[in-house]
Structure 1
Amino acid sequence: MSIQDYPSRISDPMSRKAETFSYLPKMDDDQIKAQVQYIINKGWNPAIEHSEPERATDYFWYMWKLPMFGETDVNVVLEEINNCIAANPNNHVRLIGYDNFSQSQGANMLIKRGDI
Structure 2
Amino acid sequence: MSTIQDYPSRLSDPSTRKMETFSYLPEMNDDQIRKQVEWIVKNGWNPGIEHTEPEHARDYYWYMWKLPMFGETEVDAILAELEACHKANPSNHVRLLGYDNFTQSQGANMVVYRGKMV
Alignment TM class, shorter chain as reference: over 0.9
The answer for the alignment partner of 1:91 in structure 2 is: 92
Q: TM-score, normalised by structure 1?
A: 0.97
SS in 2 for 1:58: coil
Paired with 2:116 and 2:21, the residues of 1 have a C-alpha distance of: 20
Q: CA deviation at 1:59?
A: 5.0
The answer for the alignment partner of 1:56 in structure 2 is: 57
SS in 1 for 2:98: strand
Question: 1:1-116 alignment to 2 at 5 Å?
Answer: 1-116=2-117
Report the AA paired with residue 76 of structure 1. Answer: A
Instruction: Provide the alpha-carbon RMSD of the alignment.
Output: 0.8
Measured against aligned partners, the alpha-carbon deviations of 1:44-67 in whole angstroms (never above 9, x if no partner) come to: 000011010001112510010000
Measured against aligned partners, the alpha-carbon deviations of 1:36-88 in whole angstroms (never above 9, x if no partner) come to: 00000000000011010001112510010000000000000000000000000
Give the 4+ runs in structure 1 shifted more than 2 A: none
Q: For structure 1, which runs of at least 5 residues remain unmatched after alignment?
A: none
Paired with 2:85 and 2:57, the residues of 1 have a C-alpha distance of: 16
Paired with 1:29 and 1:90, the residues of 2 have a C-alpha distance of: 19
SS in 2 for 1:34: helix
SS in 2 for 1:86: helix
Q: TM-score, normalised by structure 2?
A: 0.96
Q: For structure 2, which runs of at least 5 residues remain unmatched after alignment?
A: none
